[in-house]
Amino acid sequence: MKVRAIQFSPALGNIEKNLEFHVAKIAQAIRDGRELIVFPELSLSGYQLKDIACDIALKKDGPEWQEIENLSKKIDIIVGAPLEEEPGIIYNTALYFSKGKWRHTHRKVQLPNYGMFEERMIFKQGDEFRTFKIGSLTAGILICREILFPMLAYLYFIQKTDLLIGISNSPQRGIGKDGISSFQLWETMGYVISQFYHQNYLFVNRVGFEDGIGFGGGSFFARAGQGICQKAKYIDEDMFDADVQPADVRRARLSSNYLRDEQPELVLREMRRILHA
Amino acid sequence: MLKIRCDLVEKILVSAIRDSIHKNNFKNAIVGVSGGLDSAVVLALCRKALGAGHTHALLLPYRVSAPESLEHGKMVCAQFKVPFEVIDISPSVDAFFDRFPAENRLQIGNKCARERMSVLYDFSVRKKALVAGTSNKSELLVGYSTQFGDSAAAFLPIGDLYKTQVFELARHLGIPDAIVSKKPSADLWPGQTDEGEIGITYQDLDIILHLMIDRRWDEGEIIEHGYPLLVIRHIKKMIVASQFKRTMPPVIKLHPRTVGIDFRYLRDWNK
């Protein structure tokens, strides 16, 4: 599967401008023969929405989707958006479009609400981690902070996911002599997902600034069992193409058999014992 | 402990300055250059972000300012090839105090800081520029600034860097040694130094602030690290006492949605 990752800076609260950018990048990806294009978390709206969310949250039957659905006849598309699924109930979502239809919605479960983050002031939490098909691949989506909970990637691991897609709006923070500590978080998890959960893993982060908070970029593709093999720039807008091979998942599984030896029933039993003790 | 990767900090700050200026449909920044370290660093960053043609410097001496401050201001403008203007604020400041004599020198210092702000904002219109502020994290936290004076700006590029980190960045950016090596001073009256006023060296202040603010260490942990309780308490007191300088004035809430309380929008709204 020929994948393209778009690392860009959405305009805060300006759906029209962001949609225009998406359409241009999707059209370009179609011309370039790509099969899947992935945008960052909240790519249609920007991140620090605060009260803007109530003003601009997208509706399920909104006019915006028609254009993306039409484009998805020629390429599969993943975008991020604040979605008002019921009046007054907004989710932070990742949406998958394919063959002219909106086919999958992932609602962010882990909404950060500490320090500079206040997502629970805006969004309702999702409550599931379901896989879906992208062509012949079994795929799953994690949104930003969900990536930092290894147990959530595990849920996709035991659903035999070939391609895990992590979309993010990660503010860069923690400057020191070795650089920015938040950059290392995502790469560490990329290594874990690739090496121990044997999934191809595409991480797409945004860049740009919102009132002084900068988003670090550094999107990457980690091949199953091999770690990070392609990486976008930090801080600047960028994009890259990756070729996702299901054969890499098979090779990784054969090399160390984590999936074969995994015992989810035991994990479930032990979880019940621990939780109900 | 406070070492930074200067190349990365430079890249982030240059990108952020460019973003702040362009997102607001400006092309230019204007910086009040005092001859000290902070404004030299901000000037250098703006120059890198926007180019010499889009960076303007104002040198705003008062009659008791140290002569070397003006010389150092000119030196840094020359080094980064930034056009500058010198505007002596003495006539306007003195005209006021001739009518209403000052009761203490701090009053004069604050008036000078606000006069400089007033001139910078006037010139920001003339130059079609946004005012780049020069406050650093150390002074923001202990409140070592004049409210609506030197703390007033469209954005604060080095506001999350401690003073000792500004020194490190200054060396990386090639700020002239005469500026980097002199004692930091607000230059509000002859012989004034920041460390004399604050009562502690920046080296110690910054480490304590970093442990207290960024790492959330408690008093006991900071004492174990080698700092006396009295110094820690002094710093904490300064932080608490100056909180009003770091927030917008409170609005008295009457309606369901109130500016500054629950009318919650970023500056970058729709940009």
**Average pLDDT, rounded, for chain B:** 96
Q: Collect all residues of chain A within an 8 Å Cβ-Cβ radius of residue B263.
A: 51
Per the CB < 8 A criterion, the answer to whether A253 and A259 are in contact is: yes
Which chain A residue shows the shortest CA-CA distance from B154? Answer: A211
If DSSP codes are grouped into helix, strand and coil, which group holds residue B233?
helix
Residue whose entry in the numeric block shows the structure tokens 């790519």: A43
CB contact under 8 A, B12 and A13: no
Answer whether residue B176 is part of any domain: yes
Nearest to A14 among B156, B267, B270 (CB): B270
Which among A168, A166, A173 is positioned nearest to A116, based on CA atoms?
A: A173
B266 and chain A in contact, CB less than 8 A = yes
Answer whether residue B246 is part of any domain: no
Q: In the predicted model, what is the mean pLDDT of residues A46-64?
A: 96
Residue whose entry in the numeric block shows the structure tokens 């994009």: A239
Q: How many CB atoms lie within 10 A of CB B175?
A: 23
Q: What are phi and psi of B186, to 5 degrees?
A: -75, -10
* pLDDT confidence of residue B201: 94
A87 and chain B in contact, CB less than 8 A = no
Q: Report pLDDT digits (tens) over A100-128.
A: 999 999 999 999 999 999 999 999 999 99
Q: Is the pLDDT of residue A200 over 80?
A: yes
Answer whether residue B239 is part of any domain: no
Q: How many CB atoms lie within 10 A of CB A64?
A: 17
Note the pTM of the prediction, 2 decimals: 0.95
Answer whether residue B148 is part of any domain: yes
Give me the residues paired with residue A218 across strands: none
Q: In the predicted model, what is the mean pLDDT of residues B93-97?
A: 98
B135 and chain A in contact, CB less than 8 A = no
CB contact under 8 A, B264 and A50: yes
> What is the 8-class DSSP label of residue B246?
G
Which chain A residue shows the shortest CA-CA distance from B12? Answer: A235
Q: Collect all residues of chain B within an 8 Å Cβ-Cβ radius of residue A178.
A: 5
Could you tell me the pLDDT band of residue B188, with boundaries at 50, 70 and 90?
A: confident
Q: Report pLDDT digits (tens) over A178-188.
A: 999 999 999 99
CA atoms within 13 A on the CB side of A19: 16
- How far apart CA A229 and CA B125 sit, in angstroms, is 49
Greatest C-alpha distance within chain B: 55
Which among A110, A10, A101 is positioned nearest to A56, based on CA atoms?
A: A10
* pLDDT confidence of residue B69: 96
Nearest to B15 among A11, A52, A235 (CB): A235
Answer whether residue B206 is part of any domain: no
CB contact under 8 A, A180 and B8: yes
Which chain B residue shows the shortest CA-CA distance from A172? Answer: B12
Provide the token pair at A238.
């960028």
Residue B71 to chain A, least CA–CA distance (Å): 32
Per the CB < 8 A criterion, the answer to whether A193 and A165 are in contact is: no
* pLDDT confidence of residue B271: 86
Residue whose entry in the numeric block shows the structure tokens 């620090």: A48
In chain B, pLDDT over 90 holds for what percent of residues? 93
The angle subtended at Cα A6 by Cα A126 and Cα B22, nearest 5°, is 105
Nearest to B269 among A9, A52, A178 (CB): A52
Could you tell me the pLDDT band of residue B190, with boundaries at 50, 70 and 90?
A: confident
CB contact under 8 A, A12 and B271: yes
In chain A, pLDDT over 90 holds for what percent of residues? 99
* pLDDT confidence of residue B158: 98
Helix B202-209 / helix B229-241 crossing angle, nearest 10 deg:
70
- How far apart CA A153 and CA A151 sit, in angstroms, is 6
Residue B199 to chain A, least CA–CA distance (Å): 27
CB contact under 8 A, A180 and B265: no
Number of helices and strands in chain A (H, E): 8, 17
Nearest to B12 among A14, A172, A178 (CB): A172
Provide the token pair at B210.
């970093």
Residues 6+ positions from B262 with CB-CB distance below 8 Å: B256
Which among A184, A204, A193, A209 is positioned nearest to A258, based on CA atoms?
A: A193
Could you tell me the pLDDT band of residue A277, with boundaries at 50, 70 and 90?
A: confident
| Interface test with chain B among A8, A51, A114, A233, by most B beta carbons within 10 Å | A51
A217 and chain B in contact, CB less than 8 A = no
A237 and chain B in contact, CB less than 8 A = no
Query: Domains (ranges, CATH) in chain A?
Result: 2-276 (3.60.110.10)
Sheet containing strand B129-131, edge to edge, reads B84-86, B55-59, B28-32, B129-131
Provide the token pair at A78.
């993943």
Which among B109, B156, B104 is positioned nearest to B135, based on CA atoms?
A: B156
Give me the residues paired with residue A238 across strands: A7
**Average pLDDT, rounded, for chain A:** 97
Which among B119, B120, B49 is positioned nearest to B91, based on CA atoms?
A: B119
Q: Please state the length of chain A.
A: 277
Greatest C-alpha distance within chain A: 58
What's the domain range around B160?
A: 6-188
* pLDDT confidence of residue B192: 83
Give me the residues paired with residue A242 across strands: A3
Please give the C-alpha separations between residue B87 and each of A146, B41, B146, in angstroms, as whole numbers: 55, 21, 20
Per the CB < 8 A criterion, the answer to whether A60 and A89 are in contact is: no
* pLDDT confidence of residue B46: 98
Provide the token pair at B137.
């994290």
* pLDDT confidence of residue B189: 78
Q: Report pLDDT digits (tens) over B109-158.
A: 999 999 999 999 999 999 999 999 999 999 999 999 999 999 999 999 99
CB contact under 8 A, B15 and A236: yes
Residues 6+ positions from B106 with CB-CB distance below 8 Å: B188
Answer whether residue B117 is part of any domain: yes
ipTM confidence: 0.93
Strands A200-205 and A179-180: what pairing?
A: unpaired
Q: Is the dihedral of CA A52, A54, A57, A62 positive or negative?
A: negative
Q: Is the pLDDT of residue B238 over 90?
A: yes
CATH (domain of B14): 3.40.50.620
Answer whether residue B20 is part of any domain: yes
Provide the token pair at B72.
């150092």
Per the CB < 8 A criterion, the answer to whether B59 and B66 are in contact is: no
Q: Which of residues 141-200 of B touch A (CB under 8 A)?
A: 155-156
- How far apart CA B124 and CA B131 sit, in angstroms, is 6
Nearest to B266 among A50, A214, A234 (CB): A50
Domains in chain B, number: 1
Residues 6+ positions from A148 with CB-CB distance below 8 Å: A110, A185, A189
Give me the residues paired with residue B131 across strands: B30
